[in-house]
């Protein structure tokens, strides 16, 4: 049971990492620089990843799922604000920010992803009492998931530095 949950946990990390890698496709291939709210949503996704990484090294505990839910809720606030900013465009203005994917913009997908994170954390919490919370070995898939997370974090640090330098980000680069 513990092994299954550990593998499922690692798969969740890899899925979120793949989503964050997709954002890099839009940033570097389609040349669509992320807006401040987009970067804040990425931060919240890393918060979710931090909670999932806690599960790998400190076993499954409700407090780790609390971290996931807190991060997902903050991300949901940012994504919902961005959806509401673009939900009713003025005539002559672009319909949304960036290119849509499967008919929806990235921030709309972000709302769905954060809702899925909250739902997933709740599902994990339902079965957490059945899991023996003992220290166990770290599987190869978990090592891959952690390496993927750290690589993406480093890439985001470099990309954000070149976009906004050290200060906060504004619409077209650094604020200050």
Partner 1 sequence: MIFTFLGYLLSVFYIIRKNKIKALLFFYITTAVTLLLYAYHATSDLNLNF
**Binding of partner 1 at residue 97 (CB under 8 A)?**
no
Residue 26 is classified by DSSP as I
CA distance 45 to 42: 5
Instruction: Assess contact for 107 and 76: CB atoms under 8 A.
Output: no
Stretch binding partner 1 (CB under 8 A), from 1-9, 18-26, 115-123, 159-167: 159-167
- 47/98 with CB nearer partner 1: 47
User: x/- site string to partner 1, residues 21 to 50, per CB under 8 A?
Assistant: ---------------xx-xx-xxx-xx-xx
Kindly state the smallest distance separating residue 34's Cβ from partner 1, in Å.
10
Q: By CB under 8 A, name the one of 12, 17, 23, 67 that touches partner 1.
A: 67
**Binding of partner 1 at residue 81 (CB under 8 A)?**
yes
**Binding of partner 1 at residue 153 (CB under 8 A)?**
yes
Helices (H) and strands (E) in the chain, counts: 5, 2
Quote the longest CA-to-CA distance of the chain.
Answer: 60
CA distance 131 to 58: 13
The b/e string for 9-35 (b: 16+ C-beta within 10 A; e otherwise) is bbebbbebbeebeebeebbeeeebbbb
**Binding of partner 1 at residue 84 (CB under 8 A)?**
no
Q: What is the binding site for partner 1 (CB under 8 A)?
A: 36-37, 39-40, 42-44, 46-47, 49-50, 53-54, 56-58, 67, 70-71, 74, 77-78, 81, 146, 149-150, 153-154, 156-157, 160-161, 164-169
């Amino acid at each position: 049971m513990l092994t299954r949950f550990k593998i499922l946990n690692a798969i969740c990390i890899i899925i979120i990492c793949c989503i964050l890698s997709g954002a890099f496709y839009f940033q570097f291939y389609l040349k669509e620089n992320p807006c401040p709210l987009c970067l804040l949503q990425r931060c919240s996704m890393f918060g979710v990843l931090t909670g999932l990484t806690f599960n790998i090294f400190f076993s499954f505990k409700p407090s780790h799922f609390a971290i996931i839910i807190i991060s997902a809720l903050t991300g949901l606030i940012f994504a919902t604000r961005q959806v509401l900013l673009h939900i009713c465009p003025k005539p002559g203005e672009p319909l949304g920010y960036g290119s849509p994917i499967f008919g929806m913009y990235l921030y709309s997908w972000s709302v769905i992803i954060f809702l899925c994170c909250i739902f997933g954390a709740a599902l994990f919490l339902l079965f957490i009492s059945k899991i023996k919370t003992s220290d166990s070995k770290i599987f190869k898939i978990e090592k891959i998931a952690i390496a993927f997370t750290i690589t993406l974090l480093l890439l985001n640090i470099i990309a954000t530095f070149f976009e906004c330098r050290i200060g906060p980000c504004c619409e077209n680069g650094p604020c200050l």
